[in-house]
Amino acid sequence: MFVIEVGTRQAWPFIGFCDDTGIKARELRLYLDAPWAVGGTSGDAVAHEAWMVSALEINNRAVSHVSVDADSNLRIDLFNAPSLTVSGEPTASTVGEPWWFGELNG
């Protein structure tokens, strides 16, 4: 799986992934509505400029490992790039889950 896009959709930062290991490529988007960190930069869902600058460091990188701990904190390690971590703890402004995946194609 590798990163194919980073951006912001309405209020949420997102990162798009492609898994092309099967017969048909599958694309997923991870939406963030919680505190996040990429390398030494961190922010929350409304820190759009900080997100875009730091997320560009992980664009076009392959995923090496993904983990979710008992508190629903997400960590995505990438080859030759900083890791992305997302808190599993909702903030006062979180409208649903702190982070979630949406499928872009079927």
- Arithmetic mean of pLDDT, 25-54: 91
Torsion of CA 68, 38, 45, 47, to 10 degrees: 170
Please state the separation of Cα 25 from the chain's center in Å. Answer: 19
Query: pLDDT tens digits for 65-88?
Result: 999 999 999 999 999 999 999 999
What pLDDT does residue 1 have? 92
The pLDDT of residue 65 is 97
Give residue 85's pLDDT: 97
Query: Could you tell me the pLDDT band of residue 41, with boundaries at 50, 70 and 90?
Result: very high
Task: Flag whether pLDDT at 13 surpasses 90.
Answer: yes
| 51 burial level (CB within 10 Å; 0-12, 13-18, 19+) | buried
Hey, how many other C-beta atoms are within 10 angstroms of the C-beta on 85? 18
Stated pTM of the model: 0.90
